[in-house]
Structure 1
Amino acid sequence: MAVVIPGFRLGHKPVGIEIDVAASLALATFARDDFAEADYEYLDCSRGPLGQRELSVYRGKDRMILTLDEIDHFLDIYMRGLSLAIDAGMTANNPNFRGYHVIDPNQPRMI
């Protein structure tokens, strides 16, 4: 059994700890109870070196899976950094959804 995590960002190719944190968060959220021993597959479809889409698959058995305490530590750092940025006057830009489209409007929402 594997938790499959799609990487949605076309303009950013995740590396190392970025993949480990995202996948560990997904495992902590979805791999509970009977699925506590689940592995993960992180699917990245960002751009390759020549600008074309490139599929990369990362499996948890080949990577580091963070503990709940380690996840809490990273989230604490993230929230403190976000708080500092907001206090310094940072504002959020509207997301750019260009290139995204709904293939099947009857498909249930993921979140």
Structure 2
Amino acid sequence: MARSLKRAAALAVGAGLLAVTGMGGTAYAGSTGTVYVTVPGCVGTLKLDAGGSSNWATASLESLTSNTCWLTFWDTNTTKVQTVSQSFSVRGNSSGSANSPYYHDFEHRVAISISNGVTQRGSAWYY
């Protein structure tokens, strides 16, 4: 029972931290390529030119250990000051991807943040 309570607490902490770390960072204009964000045991990937288009971004996450990892994929509209996100987790020694891509351009910025339940890190914003 104590183990499941500890795991539930780690899940809550991991999810809560993502909301904080994904909201900061410097913006980089005209971005293409791939950005990697790592914390111990987890690697998050933000691919800025998915499917051959320089304006579509996708996000994926890989757990390199037996621990669960969390990722939040962010999109913010700087003109309308709206931010949307999608979050998911992967169990130990597995990987997964966000459900859908986000569009990025001069007004839409994208970012990812990841957590292993203890340590969290966010990327910069890219557009």
Shared fold by TM > 0.5?
A: no
- Of structures 1 and 2, the larger Rg is shown by 1
The structure with the largest strand share of the pair is 2
**Which protein has greater RCO, CA pairs closer than 8 Å, 6+ apart?**
2
